[in-house]
């Protein structure tokens, strides 16, 4: 069952977000620029790689300035809730959810509720 465009409170939830070092500055260098409040105002000519220190601060800045449209496939956040494991896995919008966890950003998401245990994330690792 899909629940569309609900405000999604990231606090007090177990949320799994998988990043490779090529996608995340914290994975790449060990420091999160959002937690350390790195400030960056992007220009239209900036092309930032996802593991660039400025990527997440620039994304946060753009969302605060322009918002995002949860109806747009480009902006949509998709999350699967595994009810038997009682945790969430982010499918689309990983950086935005991660930024929301580490800042005051409010998000909306399309949440799919599945009544199974997830075998692909650390909650059920043996």
- Cα separation, 67 vs 45, whole angstroms: 20
**Residue 115 has what DSSP assignment?**
S
Average pLDDT over residues 92-110: 92
pLDDT over 60 at 88, yes or no: yes
pTM of the model: 0.84
Residues with Cβ < 8 Å from 117, sequence gap 6 or more?
Answer: 82, 84, 85, 124
pLDDT over 50 at 120, yes or no: yes
- The strand order across the sheet containing 15-16 reads 2-8, 107-114, 78-82, 87-92, 15-16
Q: Which has the minimum average pLDDT: 15-24, 43-52, 63-72, 94-103?
A: 63-72
């Amino acid at each position: 069952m899909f629940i569309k465009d609900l405000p999604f409170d990231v606090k007090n939830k177990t949320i799994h977000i998988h990043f490779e070092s090529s996608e995340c500055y914290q994975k790449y260098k060990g420091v999160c620029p959002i937690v350390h409040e790195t400030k960056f105002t992007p220009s239209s000519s900036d092309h930032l790689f996802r593991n660039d220190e400025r990527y997440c601060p620039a994304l946060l800045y753009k969302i605060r300035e322009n918002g995002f449209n949860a109806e747009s496939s480009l902006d949509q956040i998709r999350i699967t809730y595994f009810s038997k494991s009682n945790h969430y896995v982010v499918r689309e919008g990983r950086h935005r959810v991660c930024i929301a966890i580490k800042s005051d950003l409010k998000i909306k998401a399309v949440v799919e509720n599945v009544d199974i245990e997830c075998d692909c994330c650390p909650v059920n690792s043996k």
